[in-house]
Structure 1
Amino acid sequence: MSRKDRKAQGQCKNPFTVNGKCGGEHIHKFSNSKSPFSVVFILPIVLDSTNMVPNFMYKQPESYRKKTAGMSYIASYAVYNIRSRKQWNLSPPGKNDTNLQYAEWGPHGSQLVFIYENDIYYQEVASGPALRLTSSGDPERVLNGISDWTYQEEVLHSYAAHWWSPDGARLAYLTINNTLVPKMELPHFVGADYPIHARYAYPKAGQPIPEVKVFVVNLHGPSHTVEIIRPDTFEYREYYITLVMWVTNTEFAVQWLNRPQNLSLLSICDTTSGACVEKYRTSSDVWISSQAVPVFSVDFTFLLVPVKQGGQGEYVHIAMFSTQLGGKENSLQMLTSGEWDVTRIVAYNSDNKTVVDRCQILLEDENSISKNLFSTGKHEVLSNFLVDGSVDFGVDETQ
């Protein structure tokens, strides 16, 4: 412990300090000002649901951390109990001092998951035993709950490929199979005179892409895993999964995109049966531009879709459909229209059933853009001002 930490410890209500900061329920993140990798990251402190003892998880110092590819790395993770001053490493059963590929808290209590050798492990409480949820992980071919190079860089833009249900009772995850994807050697510059080379599944045009599936596992009671049934449209086609997002505690949305990227389906899926209902389909003669993330509620789903406005071409507007599993695309209802684009759905107020959206209107006579904040309940302008095209419209989304 440093001199600064010893001095701060005498002023703290709990025994743990780092860089002169008191450890406690209000510390979420910190790093060493001289070296951000002394202690890389501390995840939010949570209270153990069984005995209300504060625990937190952190990655060990840089010497325990090794970058692999893209956003991914392996690291040693530990959990520290502030009250008892006990620390223990996260590791699979029968393993000690192991490097993990990923670890994070769940939404409730001190439940957590970690990933080791491409398989997912679950702990109901931080001090409890680890339960292995998957067994298909393979270092060279199959990943569970984390992204490979393709999904990190081109699809999800995230290393994590798993999602907790809001109540923490279920975990949805991707299984990515690279068996048929050709490998490419890429150099890694690690500070030595010569780089090292690592092999990655790297699909090029005309070569197979990763095979991907969605699963959901029940975490409460006996472990039960359900595979989500892909749409018939993609039965014998290559496809990507570009979005997985929980809607309720038992239903989530999945967005499917074909290999040419000119056909996309948005489905709502039931986690008990694995069955999905197609809610929205979009296609293009060339390819589909990047799609905004929908906004979901228990009753409705809101998304941005291109719509023809007279003879002026297509403009992007808000559509709404029922989140319930019954009904299909024909229930789509447009909420906005006009010769202007909605750029983002900011929020949905379930109390008064209004949607706040952000739009852009091109004023041809001024050759500038008016950015507005609208509410579709009364559709009155909440904020309206002209800005330079390079200036973003600031919206406080924390309220």
Structure 2
Amino acid sequence: MKLKYVFLFVFLGLANLTIAQQKEITLQEIWSGAFGTRGMDVLHSMNNGQQYTVLNRGTGSVDKYDYKTLQKVETIVSASNISEISSFSSYSFSDDESKLILATEVEPVFRRSRLGIYFVYDIASKKATKISDKKIQEPTFSPNGKKVAYVYDNNVYVKDLMSGASTQITTDGVKNKIINGVTDWVYEEEFSFVRAFQWNAASDHIAFIRFDETDVPEFSMDVYGSKLYPQQHVFKYPKAGEKNADVSLHLYNLNAGKTSKIDLSNYNDFYIPRIKWTNDPAVLSVQVINRHQNELDLMMYNAATNQKSVVLKETDKAYVDITDNLTFLADNSFIWTSEKDGFNHIYHYKKDGTFINQVTKGPWEVTNYYGYDEDSDRVFYQSVENGSVNRDIYAVKINGKKKKRLSTKEGTNSAKFSANFTYYINTFTSATTPPEYSLHWAKNGKLEKEIKNNANVKEKLGNYKMSKKEFFTLTTAKGHELNAWMIKPADFEASKKYPVLMYQYSGPGSQQVANKWNSPNDYWYQLLAQKGIIIVCVDGRGTGFKGADFKKVTYKELGKYEVEDQIDAAIELGKRSYVDKDRIGIWGWSYGGFMSSNCILKGNDVFSMAIAVAPVTSWRFYDTIYTERYMQTPQENASGYDDNSPINHVKKLKGDYLVIHGTGDDNVHVQNTMRMIDALIKANKQFDWMIYPDKNHGIYGGYTRLHLYTKMTDFIENTLLK
């Protein structure tokens, strides 16, 4: 009798487990953040290398922790103790860590730029001082901590923290004409920075870039809002082949109160993608790159002598990528990364540009440079030495010897080192492991302590019908070996025929096939797999981390080789016994929307449906810096633009096509979709479309993402599952 009850208990337990495992993911759960993971927010290593701080958004505080014990040492600042501040969203320390800048009332301008009310908080006095009553941009401490420079209304200001007085050092800033100290739209988007001014080490000079956008064509967007009449948002946006802002470089001497212009007259139609002071307070490094972006000069300018010299020239048959890896060592020799041997590697040069040695080498890519530790004479970096879908942490002597792999788990490892390179906090994730944070010794990578993990998320997912993400290499008929992953339905049966939805992005240097934890889209793919669809992602030629030749094959032909690879991959998938080759769809966002549009047109006998979200439909509509880097100008390469733009292939449409865009997209303008729609109508082609009023390139806010993914899910069901 007792045994019978035990058997019944076990049976009921197994039955409940089976039921629990059959739980299906819903769109509401995905976009309400039900599967979100915890991280370590705004981590900063203290100068002593023994402690670090994090922003605790829950309590509105900056808390200090000890590396070795991981115990909280103190709360440095809390919004609850400052009468002037109800909350703050970010913080930054002065060099001596006696003060912080706290950001409040922050509002976005474009992708990276922000306006806000900022305070300087003095740790000793516990006093908060507002930098300006106006909303400003990019407030930055001088190295001596006595001043803050910032930008307001396109002009640069300096506030003296002792006297409280502010000095306006430029006066000609005008919206849509002149910008001082912050970047224009295209620099912000494509060179990935906003603050275009830099303090020198002595705190007595500020270098800044000035943008004259007077002759740059304007783009306008209607903002519909909720009022009776829409408003118009007008901003400068240089499209491929059009006029860029004229940039110039200036130096403000705080002691003299004067501004001088650095002579760059030997350059014509150029960009200044980076400026950075060396350890010598008189010497500024300037990166100047030509409009084609295949010739870059690293120049040193001496403010004391007004002399300049080019110490390094980087050239490429296609293009040179801009990075933030330039690092000056104590003797002003410098670290630089380059693809000049065919793979991205680390190089060491003397301060005059004399080559010392190549620090890393091999048929693999350095994916992140973490820094140089003078005491141990070691360089720390991240690379794909363990396979292009993985990331590991390494250390190597600056002479290139005694390389050591510090990370041990296979997947994606990234590091945040302490200031003195004693410790590092490793973030590890893989396709089967949500983010884990752990403390390690930089000397040998040895684990000191676990900090936090997201095991609860993995445990929660154990109650759902989940499918494994299978990584594999797909070889096309042309012999191209491409990284790929596949998600099959959990109840997959090899004897059945399944429809396939392919996802890709495919932009130059990008990667979607990576051994890391789920994004929200991955949960959507699980939902689609629950409905009986196989999801596949293939990184074709043009994507990153497999060498320069693999990445740069698409030069001057965006949309040719990448599209061939997606079509060829779909053909190979269609040969598999469990794939219904007549029901293969593809979708993508942004560059991926450009790709999915091209695929259903150029591959109209292979793909039966496509979804394009915020697609580029002609590269003539996109910006100068990005487009010309890969395509040169339309005037020079008209066929490269037109032969591979979806808008010119609409007559080939056979399958089901859904195009989606936000009208407030300042990046890939809704013009792309409107012109695509017009071309489809003129070709008498039926299609579906969805417009999101006033939504930007990300198409989010409120229920927007839920609505968007419901729309796409319904479309997929009505096409691939019909």
Q: Distance in 2 between matches of 1:80 and 1:397?
A: 26
| 1:205 counterpart residue number | 240
| 2:325 counterpart residue number | 293
Return the offset for 1:127. 4.0
SS at match of 1:277: strand
> CA deviation digits over 1:287-321, x for unaligned, max 9?
2245462221233112123344xxxxx33333322
| 1:340 counterpart residue number | 363
Say which structure is richer in strand.
Answer: 1
Q: Distance in 2 between matches of 1:27 and 1:71?
A: 29
Q: Distance in 2 between matches of 1:383 and 1:304?
A: 19
Pick from 148, 158, 164: which aligns with 1:112? Answer: 148
SS at match of 1:299: coil
Q: Distance in 2 between matches of 1:87 and 1:300?
A: 39
Pick from 298, 301, 306: which aligns with 1:269? Answer: 301
1:315 paired to 2:343: yes
1:305 paired to 2:338: yes
1:171 paired to 2:171: no
Q: Distance in 2 between matches of 1:299 and 1:57?
A: 29
Letter in 2 for 1:347: G
Higher mean C-alpha deviation, range 264-273 or range 177-186: 264-273
> CA deviation digits over 1:226-274, x for unaligned, max 9?
3223272x2xx21111111121222121111111111111112212344
| 2:282 counterpart residue number | 250
| 1:134 counterpart residue number | 170
Relative to structure 1, the CA distance from residue 392 to residue 245 in structure 2 (aligned partners, 3 Å threshold; closer, same or farther) is farther
Letter in 2 for 1:222: A
Partners of 2:61 and 2:79 within 8 A in 1? no
Pick from 196, 201, 205: which aligns with 2:231? Answer: 196
Say which structure is richer in helix.
Answer: 2
> CA deviation digits over 1:51-86, x for unaligned, max 9?
xxx8765455x4xx6544333344444557789898
Return the offset for 1:208. 0.7
Pick from 260, 263, 268: which aligns with 1:226? Answer: 260
Partners of 2:61 and 2:78 within 8 A in 1? no
Return the offset for 1:181. 0.5
Letter in 1 for 2:236: A
Q: Distance in 2 between matches of 1:21 and 1:372?
A: 35
Superposed counterparts of 1:326-365, under 5 Å: 331-336=354-359, 338-343=361-366, 344-351=368-375, 353-361=377-385
Higher mean C-alpha deviation, range 256-265 or range 69-78: 69-78
Q: Distance in 1 between matches of 2:385 and 2:126?
A: 58
| 2:396 counterpart residue number | 374
Letter in 1 for 2:417: E
Relative to structure 1, the CA distance from residue 181 to residue 304 in structure 2 (aligned partners, 3 Å threshold; closer, same or farther) is same
Relative to structure 1, the CA distance from residue 158 to residue 305 in structure 2 (aligned partners, 3 Å threshold; closer, same or farther) is closer
Partners of 2:383 and 2:391 within 8 A in 1? no
Q: Distance in 1 between matches of 2:99 and 2:312?
A: 43
Q: Distance in 2 between matches of 1:299 and 1:55?
A: 28
Letter in 2 for 1:217: Y
Higher mean C-alpha deviation, range 247-256 or range 299-308: 299-308
Relative to structure 1, the CA distance from residue 72 to residue 346 in structure 2 (aligned partners, 3 Å threshold; closer, same or farther) is closer
1:154 paired to 2:178: no
Q: Distance in 2 between matches of 1:376 and 1:168?
A: 30
Please give the root-mean-square deviation of Cα atoms over the aligned residues, in Å. Answer: 4.0
Return the offset for 1:204. 0.6
| 2:417 counterpart residue number | 397
| 1:39 counterpart residue number | 87
SS at match of 1:393: strand
Partners of 1:369 and 1:386 within 8 A in 2? no
Partners of 1:114 and 1:120 within 8 A in 2? yes
Relative to structure 1, the CA distance from residue 112 to residue 240 in structure 2 (aligned partners, 3 Å threshold; closer, same or farther) is same
Letter in 2 for 1:333: I
Q: Distance in 1 between matches of 2:415 and 2:386?
A: 20
| Percent identity over paired residues | 18
Relative to structure 1, the CA distance from residue 127 to residue 191 in structure 2 (aligned partners, 3 Å threshold; closer, same or farther) is farther
Letter in 2 for 1:261: Q
> CA deviation digits over 1:348-381, x for unaligned, max 9?
23346543444443789xx988874322347113
Letter in 2 for 1:305: S
Q: Distance in 2 between matches of 1:166 and 1:306?
A: 30
Letter in 1 for 2:199: W
Higher mean C-alpha deviation, range 206-215 or range 165-174: 165-174
Pick from 265, 270, 285: which aligns with 1:239? Answer: 270
Q: Distance in 1 between matches of 2:370 and 2:294?
A: 27
Relative to structure 1, the CA distance from residue 195 to residue 354 in structure 2 (aligned partners, 3 Å threshold; closer, same or farther) is same
Partners of 1:228 and 1:275 within 8 A in 2? no
Return the offset for 1:152. 1.2
Q: Distance in 2 between matches of 1:223 and 1:245?
A: 21
Instruction: Report how many residues are paired.
Output: 347
Letter in 1 for 2:112: M
SS at match of 1:179: coil
Relative to structure 1, the CA distance from residue 349 to residue 139 in structure 2 (aligned partners, 3 Å threshold; closer, same or farther) is same
Q: Distance in 2 between matches of 1:393 and 1:24?
A: 25
Relative to structure 1, the CA distance from residue 149 to residue 190 in structure 2 (aligned partners, 3 Å threshold; closer, same or farther) is farther
Q: Distance in 1 between matches of 2:63 and 2:393?
A: 43
Letter in 1 for 2:260: V
SS at match of 1:394: strand
Partners of 1:66 and 1:75 within 8 A in 2? yes
Letter in 1 for 2:188: Q
Q: Distance in 2 between matches of 1:28 and 1:84?
A: 12
SS at match of 1:205: coil
Higher mean C-alpha deviation, range 377-386 or range 204-213: 377-386
Q: Distance in 1 between matches of 2:114 and 2:390?
A: 45
> CA deviation digits over 1:140-179, x for unaligned, max 9?
3111111121111112x23221112233222221111101
Normalising by structure 2, we get a TM-score of 0.42
Partners of 1:372 and 1:385 within 8 A in 2? yes
SS at match of 1:315: coil
| 2:707 counterpart residue number | none
SS at match of 2:188: helix
Partners of 2:92 and 2:102 within 8 A in 1? no
Normalising by structure 1, we get a TM-score of 0.72
Letter in 1 for 2:186: T
Pick from 279, 291, 295: which aligns with 2:311? Answer: 279
Partners of 1:356 and 1:376 within 8 A in 2? no
SS at match of 2:405: strand
Structure 2: segments with no counterpart, 5+ residues: 1-56, 65-73, 422-722
Letter in 1 for 2:190: E
Letter in 2 for 1:319: Y
| 1:103 counterpart residue number | 139
